[in-house]
Amino acid sequence: MQLYHAAASPFVRKVMVVLHETGQVDDVTVVPAHVMPLETKDAALSHNPLGKIPVLTRNDGPALYDSRVICRYLDARKGGALYPEARIWELLTLEATADGIMDAAVLMVYEGRARPEDKRSEAWVEAQWGKVSRALDAVDGLWISHLRGRLSIGQIAVACALGYLDFRHADRNWRSGREALAAWYADFAERPSMQATRPDA
């Protein structure tokens, strides 16, 4: 299998953490990808018409995207422990919440990098941060109990979202007023799978 990859992408990191946690790192060859909303040439586009990464190519079927599909596929290959049936809808909603944080945080970066300066909107950037902030409050409150206990895709997704906030939006100080979440992340970030996939390493 080949994984279209960029170390800075929190969505790619989710997949990499799942590969580490399920013992499948050696089953995948990493292919560097250079994607941006205005990019039309990267090879990832030949596998994903949306032009986004991660993309996972397989020998026995069509390429898979996006990160939610790839993570579930990889986990299913190893027995499905990251998606326990008893809590499946809650975990998938938690994963969607974390992915939403990543979506908004990535769009904030694109606003500064991909859009010409005179067309950038401060109000739009702040509205994206509003989504991040509300979602963080929900994870720190409503969802915090789901971050405890056995490893799940919900935990991995939240950790990758928080890692991205540290990487790209450290000045926003997401930990402020969210002590429970900050304490949980300090612990989770020590896992070898998280250390091996740090975007700033």
Cα(158)–Cα(137) distance, integer angstroms? 12
Q: Which residue is nearest to ligand GSH (CB)?
A: 66
Closest CB to ligand GSH among 160 and 181?
160
Q: Does 53 bind ligand GSH (CB under 6 A)?
A: yes
- Interface residue with ligand GSH among 57, 67, 128, 197 (CB under 6 A) is 67
- Interface residue with ligand GSH among 20, 52, 72, 178 (CB under 6 A) is 52
Cα(19)–Cα(47) distance, integer angstroms? 20
Task: Specify whether the CB–CB gap between 125 and 108 falls below 8 A.
Answer: yes
Cα(148)–Cα(160) distance, integer angstroms? 16
Torsion region of 166: left, alpha or beta (phi above 0 gives left; psi -120 to 50 gives alpha): alpha
Q: Does 72 bind ligand GSH (CB under 6 A)?
A: no
- Interface residue with ligand GSH among 51, 72, 162, 178 (CB under 6 A) is 51
- Contact segment (CB under 6 A) with ligand GSH among 60-68, 133-141, 150-158, 178-186 equals 60-68
- Interface residue with ligand GSH among 3, 17, 21, 54 (CB under 6 A) is 54
Query: Where in 6-45 is the site for ligand GSH (CB under 6 A)?
Result: 9, 11, 35-37
| Cα end-to-end distance, the chain, whole Å | 24
CA-wise closest residue to 160 among 65, 68, 74, 75: 68
Binding site for ligand GSH (CB under 6 A): 9, 11, 35-37, 51-54, 66-68, 99, 106
